[in-house]
């Protein structure tokens, strides 16, 4: 079955630092990839998604992610984080071998941005 | 209009009780899900329905029973609640391989 790994569980950064969060999935084939954000006490909201085309996708709030098919990766980046980016970030995958329409999430990365 | 709405938002109940959480989506999606988020924020899929038909049933105790009266609704009924059932339960919906839209979550506390 499809699985998703997020390597960083807790990340602490100072404001204006650059961010990169890793995400790898296990099975290939045609996949749709997502990053969701969950602000404290809130529900999950979509940051960005990749379906096809340009492997570098831009999302809301200055986030971007790069799909590298050969590495089964979809890392999230932001050049300069803000205090308001403090949240839980989830990578998710749909499709791929053994995936189907099931949306499989990684374990999440808790980001804390300090002033 | 809220795209995916679930009720109640908070639910505090005693062990052994039976409770239900309701979910409705007005996006015209054909697939709905229930996820459980534990205290470590880990999101685990519980069930998925496509056009009222159960398509995913992960390893979940059979005290949990989903019901989909139509493709816009997916309710979750839980029998004989246990302390370990305390979590935030999220409903979501999607169409095909597109993104999922999530409800606000139901924080269930079993005492």
Contact criterion met (CB < 8 Å) for B98 and A95? no
Element (H, E) at A5: strand A4-5
Contact criterion met (CB < 8 Å) for A49 and B99? yes
Chain A closest-CA separation from residue B72 CA (Å): 17
The residue with greater pLDDT, A99 or B38, is B38
pLDDT tens, position by position, B59-91: 789 999 999 999 999 999 999 999 999 999 999
Contact residues for B20 (Cβ-Cβ < 8 A; gap 6+)? B75, B76, B77, B78
Architecture of the domain made up of B4-110: Sandwich (2.60)
Architecture of the domain made up of A4-114: Sandwich (2.60)
Is A22 in contact with A7 (CB distance < 8 Å)? Answer: yes
- In B, minimum Cα distance to A95 occurs at B97
Contact criterion met (CB < 8 Å) for A108 and B42? yes
Q: How do the domains of chain A map onto residue ranges? A: 4-114
Contact criterion met (CB < 8 Å) for A110 and B94? no
Question: How would residue B96 be classed by pLDDT, with cut points 50, 70 and 90?
Answer: confident
Alpha-carbon span B90 to A109, nearest angstrom: 18
Question: Which residues on adjacent β-strands are paired with residue B102?
Answer: B92
* Percentage of residues of chain B with pLDDT beyond 70: 98
Query: Which DSSP state fits A83?
Result: G
Alpha-carbon span A58 to B37, nearest angstrom: 27
């Amino acid at each position: 079955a499809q699985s998703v790994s997020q390597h960083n569980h807790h990340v602490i950064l100072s404001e204006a630092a650059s961010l990169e969060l890793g995400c790898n999935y296990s099975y290939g084939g045609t996949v749709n990839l997502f990053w969701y954000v969950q602000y404290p006490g809130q529900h999950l909201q979509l940051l960005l998604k990749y379906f096809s085309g340009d492997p570098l996708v831009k999302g809301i709030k200055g986030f971007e992610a790069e799909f590298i098919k050969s590495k089964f990766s979809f890392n999230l980046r932001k050049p300069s984080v803000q205090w308001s980016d403090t949240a839980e970030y989830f990578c998710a995958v749909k499709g791929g071998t053994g995936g189907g329409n099931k949306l499989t999430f990684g374990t999440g990365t808790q980001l804390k941005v300090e002033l | 209009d809220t795209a995916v709405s679930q009720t109640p938002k908070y639910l505090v109940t005693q062990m052994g009780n039976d409770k239900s959480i309701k979910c409705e989506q007005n996006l015209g999606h054909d697939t709905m899900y229930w996820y459980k988020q534990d205290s470590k924020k880990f999101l685990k899929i519980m069930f998925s329905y496509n056009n009222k038909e159960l398509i995913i049933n992960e390893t979940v105790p059979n005290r949990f029973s989903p019901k989909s009266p139509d493709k816009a609704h997916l309710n979750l009924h839980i029998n004989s609640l246990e302390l370990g059932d305390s979590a935030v339960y999220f409903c979501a919906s999607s169409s095909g391989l597109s993104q999922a839209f999530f409800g606000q979550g139901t924080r269930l506390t079993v005492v």
